Structure 1
Amino acid sequence: MNSIKNNDLLIIKLGGSIITFKDKPLTPNYQTIEKLSGIIKELKKHYKIIIVHGGGSFGHYWSVKYDMHTQPSKYPDEGVSRVNESMIKLNHIIIEKFISKNLKPFSIHPSSLVFNNLGCRERIVDIVDMIKDNDIIPITYGDVVHTTKGNFSILSGDALMNILSVSLNPLFSIFTTNVDGIYDSLSNGNIMSNILIGANNELLTSTDTDIEFTNMSFDVTGGMKRKISESINIVKNGTPVYLVNGFYPERMVDIVNGRDFVGTSIKLQQGEKGGN
């Protein structure tokens, strides 16, 4: 959709595990939201920013309760309503905090950007037009969305990161999570600071050693594995991906300034060609 590198654009995912308390249903983490908004204000001095946020103990709570998934199906109407309403509430909390920081947020419901898990070209292009000559920060989020034939599905924030990053080709795509990065295993607890994507979508270390999914900590819940899957597609389309601990949001400043940081970078293996 967009083959020009947007060198002044960052797309940032605020993980549900950091903006809410995942073990406390429907409970926002105001302290972390405050810290994130402060760092985003710093980044905004030099970059255009698009925010995607997860559901945490809001949308995830109801989607589990009503057994709703990313696979389209005729889920219970009450479940659809509950997930949708809870995500609107969480989004409103984020929006209010950004307004208090004079960040000029603009909420975009995901169903206006995506249909049947595919990006709507005109609406996504409209985001670029929105931020090009304005001081706005568009904010969208994972939610339940209508697909076809009366079916609904859960559209994750990670999937939205993929759709937006591939479409808009930002300078960086940054995922903030509740861990310091991607670990080589739960037993070792070593962060892999650099991961390369090979020609066949294999994950490699900086020494070209193949990384096996089964050895990695993200297989425990599947959450990190999904992030990796979305990240591979983002990287193959030309945008580096970074995963950092959102409880230390200042690490995002280190990334954009080219400094050493605690976290994981995911990039194309040297010699591979990215782009649309």
Structure 2
Amino acid sequence: MILVKLGGSVITDKGRYRTFDPETTDRLAEEIARTGQDVMVVHGAGSFGHMLAKEHRLHLGLTEDSQLLGASQVMTDVRELDLEVCRRMSAKGLPVVPLPPASCAVLRDGALHHLDLDKFREYHKLGLVPVTFGDVVRDELRGLGICSGDQLMAALAGEFRPEKVIFVTDVDGVFTADPTQDPKAKLIKTVDENVLDALPRTERNVDVTGSIFAKIRYMIDMAALTDECLVLNGKVPGRLEAAIRGEDVIASKVIS
């Protein structure tokens, strides 16, 4: 099985509220389908989740009743995004089954405490493609919280030990700096523990699901559970398909 994360930056415009990228999502769905490989898919919330979640401070937990309507709106928005993603995958011949985290995951103080992995396992055994996503879920201590796509990826990798883990984003991999802001930023071809110390600490590296350092930490941990862990650019046609097929592609390879 191959575990694929479609980042919010590649399927949405993260700078514009609820702005979906249907063309890129269509193509990525087709690339996955063409390989004929056994996959599970996680996707980010992008502009369908991050903006309102930040506005209502949902990553800090439920501290006042006024957050409830915002939480409800985020949950509605990310389900609409998931529906768009699943429709396109289904249209390409992928028998998807959406599994919203709010119905199968529980946090404890921001950490993923429980995920009903039996649901994923049983649907997968039937030949379906489980699709899950970043969501607002119940937190045993904070009331509510954000369950990120990276947390879900880590849990699924730990349970299913995939042959390959692929993170699909809007740049070629992990860089020495933000490549959209710094023309001198260089692609880091091999990402390991040392990279965490070398990356610059900036506010741009943080969103409601955590910092780039937390994301890389998840990736390094996952690299120990799979034969190959890659971060690649889904905006480049054919790159995801080539990676799934085992071909050499421009990417960052994450090692434990």
TM-score, scaled relative to structure 1:
0.80
Gap change, CA 1:214 and 1:73, over 3 Å in 2:
farther
> Counterpart amino acid of 2:84?
I
1:191 match = 187
Say which SS state the counterpart of residue 102 (structure 1) adopts: coil
Moved more, 255-264 or 28-37: 255-264
Q: Is the 8 A contact 1:181 1:243 kept in 2?
A: yes
TM-fit CA distance, 1:225: 2.3
1:88 match = 79
Paired with 2:171 and 2:2, the residues of 1 have a C-alpha distance of 21
1:147 match = 139
Identify the match of residue 119 of structure 1 among 86, 110, 114.
114
Identify the match of residue 61 of structure 1 among 51, 65, 80.
51
Moved more, 53-62 or 253-262: 253-262
Paired with 1:249 and 1:189, the residues of 2 have a C-alpha distance of 22
1:176 match = 168
Q: What pairs with 1:187-266 in structure 2 (closer than 5 Å)?
A: 188-196=184-192, 202-203=193-194, 211-216=195-200, 220-222=204-206, 223-248=211-236, 250-266=238-254
TM-fit CA distance, 1:41: 0.7
Gap change, CA 1:242 and 1:48, over 3 Å in 2:
same
TM-fit CA distance, 1:234: 1.0
Paired with 1:149 and 1:29, the residues of 2 have a C-alpha distance of 36
Q: Deviations over 1:243-275 (max 9, x none)?
A: 00111252223223332211101123xxxxxxx
Q: Is the 8 A contact 2:33 2:92 kept in 1?
A: yes
Q: Is the 8 A contact 2:176 2:198 kept in 1?
A: no
Q: Deviations over 1:137-171 (max 9, x none)?
A: 11100010011257100111111111111121101
Paired with 1:218 and 1:258, the residues of 2 have a C-alpha distance of 34
Q: Is the 8 A contact 2:62 2:143 kept in 1?
A: yes
> Counterpart amino acid of 2:94?
L
Structure 1 unmatched ranges of 5 or more: 1-8, 197-201, 204-210, 269-276
Gap change, CA 1:187 and 1:21, over 3 Å in 2:
closer
Paired with 1:218 and 1:170, the residues of 2 have a C-alpha distance of 33
TM-fit CA distance, 1:132: 2.5
Q: Deviations over 1:205-253 (max 9, x none)?
A: xxxxxx3534358874134323201112212334532100111252223
TM-fit CA distance, 1:126: 3.4
TM-fit CA distance, 1:17: 0.9
> Counterpart amino acid of 1:77?
L
Say which SS state the counterpart of residue 205 (structure 2) adopts: coil
Q: What pairs with 1:118-137 in structure 2 (closer than 5 Å)?
A: 118-120=113-115, 123-134=116-127, 136-137=128-129
Gap change, CA 1:14 and 1:240, over 3 Å in 2:
same
The total of aligned residue pairs comes to 242
| Aligned sequence identity (%) | 25
Moved more, 156-165 or 145-154: 145-154
Q: What pairs with 1:68-107 in structure 2 (closer than 5 Å)?
A: 68-69=58-59, 71-74=60-63, 76-107=67-98
TM-score, scaled relative to structure 2:
0.86
Gap change, CA 1:28 and 1:212, over 3 Å in 2:
closer
Paired with 1:49 and 1:142, the residues of 2 have a C-alpha distance of 18
Q: How well do the aligned residues superpose, as a CA RMSD in angstroms? A: 2.2
1:273 match = none
Say which SS state the counterpart of residue 170 (structure 1) adopts: coil
Q: Deviations over 1:34-59 (max 9, x none)?
A: 1111101113x1x2111111111111
